[in-house]
Amino acid sequence: MERCHPSEVYELFVRHMNTPRVVVDNGVCATASLVQVHSARKHGVLLEAVAALSDHGVCVRKGYISSDDGRWFMDVFHVTDAAGRKVADADALLARLESSLSADALPPRTPSAAAAAGTGAHTLLELVGADRPGLLSEVFAVLHDLRCDIVDARAWTHGGRVAALVFVRDEETGAPIDDAARVRRVESRLRHVLRGGARGARTVLLADAAAVNMDRRLHQLLNEDGEAGSRADQAEAPTTTAVAVQDWGERGYSVVTVSCRDRPKLLFDVVCTLTDLDYVVYHGTFDTDGDHAQQEFYIRRLDGRPICSAAERRRVIQCLQAAIERRASEGVRLELRITDRRGLLAYVTRVFRENSLSVTHAEITTRGDMAMNVFHVTDVAGRPADPKTIDDVIQKIGTESLRVDEERWPRLCSTEGDAGRGGAGIFSLGSLVKKNLVSLGLIRSCS
Which domain, by its residues, includes 362?
Answer: 122-227+329-404
- Give the chain's length: 447
Q: Calculate the CA dihedral of residues 202, 205, 208, 209 and round it to 10 degrees.
A: 30
Q: Is residue 313 part of a domain?
A: no
Q: Which of 87, 92, 103 is nearest to 47 (CA)?
A: 103
Q: Is residue 411 part of a domain?
A: no
Which segments of 137-200 are extended strands (E)?
148-158, 161-170
Q: In terms of C-beta density within 10 A (0-12 exposed, 13-18 middle, 19 or more buried), how is residue 408 classed?
A: exposed
Cα angle 339-343-347, degrees, rounded to a multiple of 5: 90
- 350-372 pLDDT, tens digit each: 999 999 999 999 999 999 999 99
**135 & 39 share domain:** no
pLDDT value of residue 70: 61
How many folded domains does the chain comprise? Answer: 2
- 83 with 155, same domain: the answer is no
pLDDT of amino acid 186 = 94
pLDDT recorded at residue 437: 42
Given this model, what pLDDT does residue 5 score? 58
Q: What is the CATH number of the domain that holds 359?
A: 3.30.70.260
Q: Are 162 and 190 in contact (CB under 8 A)?
A: no
Is 127 found in the same domain as 215? yes
DSSP state of 107: P
Q: Strand locations in 196-278, DSSP E?
A: 201-206, 242-248, 253-261
Q: What is the mean pLDDT of residues 333-356?
A: 96
With contact defined as beta carbons under 8 Å apart, do 78 and 267 qualify?
no
CA dist list (Å): 291 to 8, 146, 311, 333: 47, 45, 32, 20
Which residues lie closer than 8 Å to 221 by C-beta, 6 or more apart? 126, 128, 163
Secondary structure in 3-state letters for 285-324 = EEEEECCEEEEEEEEEECCCCCCCCHHHHHHHHHHHHHHH
DSSP state of 380: T
Span between the terminal Cα atoms of the chain, in Å:
55
Q: What's the pLDDT tens digit per position in 189-229?
A: 999 999 865 568 888 877 666 678 999 999 999 998 876 66
Residue range 248-267, pLDDT digits in tens: 878 899 999 999 999 889 99
